[in-house]
Chains A and B, each alone.
Chain A
Amino acid sequence: MKLLIITFASLIFIGFYSWFSVVFILISSCINFYFGKYLSLNKKKSVLISTVLTNTFFLFVLKYFNFSQGLNLGAANFQISSIAVALGISYYTLQNIAYLIETYNDRIKPTDNIFQYICFNAFFPKVTCGPIESPKLFLKTLGNLPIASKEDWICGIQRIGIGLFKKMVIADRIAPIVSRTYELDVPSQGFTTWIGICLFTVQLYFDFSGYIDIAMGSARLLGIRLTENFNHPFRATSISDFWRRWHITLFDWIKLYLYFPIVYYFRSYKKWSVIFGLGIVFLLSGLWHGIGLTFLTWACLHILFITYEVLTKQKRKKYAKKISSYIYTPISIFITFNLVCFSELFFRSKSMTNAFALLERTFTFSFFPKNWTIDFWAPLIGGGSQEHLFNIYCTFIIFILFIIFEKTIYQKAISKKINILVWLILFLVFFVFGIFESGEEFIYLQF
């Protein structure tokens, strides 16, 4: 009964966006449910391949093909005006493919309950932006739905609170600065432009992880635990480390169903099989986000960074031993963060022209500002009044403090015990500095 209620609630939730999405998710779930059963009984590779390709085909058609304008080859539209025709298709298609492969390989028993499978795809907290759940664990949870305990409620509400804080106090405060930088509204010097570019990565993290926190908290209210999608990515000391901490469920999926098979298949090429595997992983990850040139460049940059890391792993280990970790770690974090921001510049840009214009601005003007108020703060916030400056100082202080104390905040705020002082401070900052009137949509809704 509980499963039925959650399933219907999820479908109604999707229906608020579009009823086509409800119909499509139902059809997709029924077909994959049937083929999951079929594949577990008849091990036909051709059927597996064709079902995987069909899922991919629908993902491609519904995600990239704008019926009114033809194939949409542009970059992401960060001023989201409408939600994708089939809500959440990028996420549940991957879950469906995983389910088919797992049942084919006998790693899981196909489910007999169609509602369980529909819920696996449509579960409302995760349908729009993930996390992407493993069929083995999530179907098991749905098969035996736990009863939410008092602790679940406390943890759930606290997690939702943290998510709202990240989104409304940090991400939405940074959003206008990022938009101003990428729209090239105001001429700014190199350092200012670079900070604007870097802030997009910060915005993306707080926006996306904020959503995931809300999703995990909402699921927890029902007693369901979703998979963690982030693990303090700004503490990453290398690009490979970064990808172990960022959008974890997507990269776990890609690793499991693409990277490992590729590396295994080309294992005789040793190091180069790893590089080739990573290349495919990032190209497909870029394609998953969109098929514009900007995403392709983003993917290529990550391939380049990781190839460098794979090829210089031994050398870097030697250096790390020679230098104190107090110096080596912060430098590594700094370099990693800047490289990630550099790649995200292409991820966020409307076009390659826009990306190059930003790069030109970063490297052409005199890099460091002479007058910090006029040349740095004012172009970032779009004005140099005391009010503007006060707002941008607050934004910077809040997000820097949050990043520094993120681990502690999480430990204190998402425990089974309620820490009154921590929550009181978070609530007050939320009310005093939250953006209520002009909130932005979650960035990952468009993927």
Chain B
Amino acid sequence: MIFKKIAILLILLFSILFVLEKTYTFALNQNKNIKTSYVLSNNTNADLLILGPCEPFWMINPDQLDKITNIESYNLSLSHSNFADNLLHLHLYLKNNTKPKYILLYITPESMDERYNTFNTYRFAHHLSDTLINKTVKEFDASYYKYSQIPFMPYAYYSNLINFNALQGLKHYFTNKKEPKRKNGYQPPIVQDWHYRLQNFVDLYPDQVNFNWSERREKYLKEIISLAKEKNIQLMLYESPVFEMAKPHQVNRYETLDRIQEIADQNNVPFYIFDDMEMAKDQSNFFSTLNTTVKGSVIFTDTLGHHLKNILQQSKN
């Protein structure tokens, strides 16, 4: 009797987990606020794609940019993302959209150091069937990959980061929602008073910082470059302004930038450094060393827009 009960319990449990897994996959794909799901279910078809971590995510407003450049852009960047994360987002984007003409990829010395930003496995939990994603997840998160073979574990493993999105996905499905909360992919920074005390600019590098060059970061940067080349898309690298007072604390900043420039040159990719902008001296434009406030973001998007406009005109001529 007891063994029968255990068997019933296990069968029921695995069946429910199986159904739950399917439901979560469906729900996450329906969530319009998840960028990978949105770009896969809609033809965004932008001319310019912005890629990178939190800096471009909070800093470049495509609506403002488009008014200056007269092309359509979409901000595909996401906070805490490294190049592998960016590569997979680009890969998914290209699956269901016409290829963009240009890609603008954010890069700074921190981008080449494993201590900053990361690969966010949970963002790809519902895309594990894709070969490239599967391979990359296995490389970056072996422990997750091992557990992901069990029913529902791809979602249970990062439950705190997934449950809400799945629930929201179901809501989007039942309310037939077509557009995400932020249609152009940009999110203005929500700066709270405590940010200033929590991450006090220069205190971010209390003992000076020496960036450690990561071969893996370099590998994925090169993969983004290769993918862009393969699809015949013009890739541009850029670094947005860094808060002036923090620069002396970045000990090997310029050596690292030189190495990035070297890679860019080898691959015929332009690298724009917005190092000397006046806004970098004004603390009210930043809420951390690299991230700008809404005020700073408006100033930078404007400068970037005019810069891009010139480049586009030059390339036309």
Residues of A within 8 A of B (CB): 150, 154, 173, 185-187, 384, 386-387, 390-391, 394, 417-418, 420, 423-424, 427-428, 431-437
Contact = CB atoms under 8 A, between A and B. Distances in A.
Given A386-B164, A424-B16, A432 B159 contact: yes
19 contacts: A150-B2, A173-B160, A386-B168, A387-B165, A390-B167, A418-B5, A420-B8, A420-B9, A420-B12, A424-B9, A424-B13, A431-B152, A431-B159, A432-B159, A433-B159, A434-B159, A436-B153, A437-B144, A437-B157
B235 to A, nearest CB: 32
Contacts of A436: 147, 153, 156-159
Contacts of A428: 13, 16, 20
Contact of A418 (B2, B144, B159): B2
B198 A390 contact: no
Nearest to B195: A186
Contacts of B5: 418, 420
The 10 lowest CB-CB distance pairs between A and B, nearest first, are A390-B164, A387-B164, A418-B5, A431-B156, A436-B157, A420-B9, A427-B13, A391-B160, A186-B194, A437-B157
Contacts of B9: 418, 420, 423-424
B163 interface: yes
A186 B158 CA distance: 24
A417 to B, nearest CB: 8
**Central interface residue in B6, B152, B165, by most chain A CB within 10 Å:** B6
Contacts of A154: 2
A163 B246 CA distance: 48
Nearest to A387: B164
A308 B121 CA distance: 54
Contacts of B159: 431-436
Contacts of A434: 156, 159
B198 A418 contact: no
A428 B8 CA distance: 15
Contacts of A150: 2
A366 B144 CA distance: 44
A431 B160 contact: no
A135 B160 CA distance: 44
B163 A433 contact: yes
B156 A432 contact: yes
B8 A391 contact: no
A428 B20 CA distance: 10
A432 B159 CA distance: 6
Contacts of A418: 2, 5-6, 9
Given A424-B12, A424-B13, A437 B158 contact: yes
Given A173-B160, A418-B6, A431-B156, 10 more contacts: A186-B198, A187-B197, A387-B165, A391-B163, A431-B17, A431-B152, A431-B159, A436-B147, A436-B158, A436-B159
A73 B163 CA distance: 43
B2 to A, nearest CB: 6
Interface residues of B, number: 30
A185 B198 contact: yes
Interface of B: 2, 5-6, 8-9, 12-13, 16-17, 20, 143-144, 147, 152-153, 156-161, 163-165, 167-168, 190, 194, 197-198
A393 to B, nearest CB: 10
B22 to A, nearest CB: 14
For chain B, what secondary structure do more than half of its interface residues adopt (helix, strand, loop), or is it mixed?
Answer: helix
Contacts of B6: 418
Contacts of A435: 159-160
A187 B156 CA distance: 32
B269 to A, nearest CB: 35
Nearest to A157: B6
B47 to A, nearest CB: 31
A386 B161 CA distance: 11
B181 to A, nearest CB: 10
A173 B168 CA distance: 21
A281 B153 CA distance: 47
Contacts of B17: 431
Contact of B194 (A173, A187, A427, A432): A187
Contacts of B12: 420, 424
A187 B194 CA distance: 7
A325 B17 CA distance: 45
A437 B161 CA distance: 11
A150 B161 CA distance: 39
Contacts of B157: 436-437
A249 B2 CA distance: 33
**Central interface residue in B157, B160, B167, by most chain A CB within 10 Å:** B160
A150 B6 CA distance: 12
Contacts of A417: 2
A420 B143 CA distance: 31
A386 B190 CA distance: 13
B266 to A, nearest CB: 38
Contacts of A390: 163-164, 167
B128 to A, nearest CB: 16
A150 B17 CA distance: 27
A258 to B, nearest CB: 44
Nearest to A419: B5
Nearest to A172: B160
A296 to B, nearest CB: 32
B72 to A, nearest CB: 28
B147 to A, nearest CB: 7
A161 B94 CA distance: 45
A424 B197 CA distance: 46
A8 B143 CA distance: 30
Nearest to B166: A432
A384 B17 CA distance: 30
Contacts of B163: 390-391, 394, 432-433
Contacts of A394: 163
A364 B13 CA distance: 50
Contacts of B164: 386-387, 390-391
Contacts of A431: 17, 20, 152, 156, 159
A424 B14 CA distance: 10
A329 to B, nearest CB: 36
Contacts of A391: 160, 163-164
A417 B157 CA distance: 30
Contacts of A186: 194, 198
A81 B167 CA distance: 36
Nearest to B3: A150
Contacts of B161: 387
B138 to A, nearest CB: 16
B84 to A, nearest CB: 18
Contacts of B8: 420
Nearest to B193: A187
